[in-house]
């Protein structure tokens, strides 16, 4: 049995301050807004016999009307969850695995935890033997064995490597996957967590806005200090989303 971890997050803006609308978070992660809404708030479904089914949220969010509802830590959780889903792991198998980490291993907000990155594959695989069959199967869906080692898939490892960690072991910066080869980050201490070019420090929205207003890429690169290829990459990503 692993020691229980006590976490205080109420005064940490990464956990407590909503920075993104569902649409903004979805755009930064490259997933449909309807998908991210389901991850953030769950969904209800009525069965053929009139019985209702409720699916619980998987990432951190708060109900906030039309305003921002996803805090930074929810964005980090969403990015890792997107990687797991891209590997074909059904959402109904992700939930019990996260419950295992929270209940029995002591990891809150597991998808945004450095411990998932460093120890998660071994923790999940070893602990699966102590679980009921259905939970054990869900846990093992997230781990592969290669050359005798328990590891996450390449896609999941790549996404986890996009996170930088704070002293408390939780994500403090994200290199966002939705902008191709451009180095675009989300940092709650910069520009209220909005997507920002790592080189030059300009908000993506500001650069795109100037481009749509008629400025050419060379001018934008010079004024914002962002390499031209990165502006071009972000423009391609924005065009794909708009199509």
Whether the pLDDT of residue 4 is over 50: the answer is: no
Q: What is the pLDDT of residues 161-194, one digit of tens each?
A: 999 999 999 999 999 999 989 999 999 999 999 9
CATH, residue 180: 1.10.10
204 occurs within a structural domain: yes
Q: What phi and psi, each to the nearest 5 degrees, are found at residue 162? A: -80, -5
Q: What is the largest CA-CA distance in the chain?
A: 63
Percent of the chain past pLDDT 70, that is, above it, reads 88
104 occurs within a structural domain: no
167 occurs within a structural domain: no
Strand (E) or helix (H) holding 201: none
- Provide the whole-model pTM: 0.86
Pick the range with the lowest mean pLDDT from 8-12, 151-155, 175-179, 189-193.
8-12
119-140 average pLDDT score: 75
194 occurs within a structural domain: yes
Whether the pLDDT of residue 240 is over 90: the answer is: no
229 occurs within a structural domain: yes
Partners of 51 in the beta sheet? none
Structural domains counted in the chain: 1
234 occurs within a structural domain: yes
185 occurs within a structural domain: yes
- The larger pLDDT score, comparing residue 145 to residue 206, is at 206
């Amino acid at each position: 049995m692993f020691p229980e971890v006590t976490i205080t997050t109420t005064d940490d803006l990464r956990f407590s301050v909503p920075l993104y609308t569902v649409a903004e978070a979805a755009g930064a992660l490259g997933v449909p807004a309807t998908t991210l809404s389901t991850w953030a708030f769950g969904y209800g479904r009525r069965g053929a016999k009139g019985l209702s089914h409720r699916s619980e949220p998987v990432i951190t969010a708060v109900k906030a009307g039309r305003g921002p509802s996803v805090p930074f830590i929810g964005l980090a959780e969403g990015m890792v969850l997107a990687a797991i889903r891209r590997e074909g792991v059904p959402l109904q198998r992700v939930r019990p695995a996260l419950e295992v980490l929270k209940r029995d291993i002591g990891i809150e907000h597991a998808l945004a935890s450095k411990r998932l990155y460093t120890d998660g594959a071994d923790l999940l695989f070893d602990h699966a033997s102590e679980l009921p069959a259905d939970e054990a199967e869900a846990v093992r869906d997230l781990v592969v064995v290669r050359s005798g080692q328990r590891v996450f898939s390449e896609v999941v490892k790549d996404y986890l490597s996009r996170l930088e960690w704070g002293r408390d072991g939780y994500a403090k910066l994200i290199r966002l996957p939705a902008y191709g080869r451009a180095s675009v980050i989300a940092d709650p201490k910069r520009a209220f967590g909005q997507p920002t070019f790592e080189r030059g420090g300009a908000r993506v929205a500001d650069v795109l806005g100037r481009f749509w207003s008629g400025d050419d890429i060379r001018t934008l690169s010079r004024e914002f200090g962002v390499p031209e290829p990165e502006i071009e990459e972000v423009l391609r990503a924005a065009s794909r989303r708009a199509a």
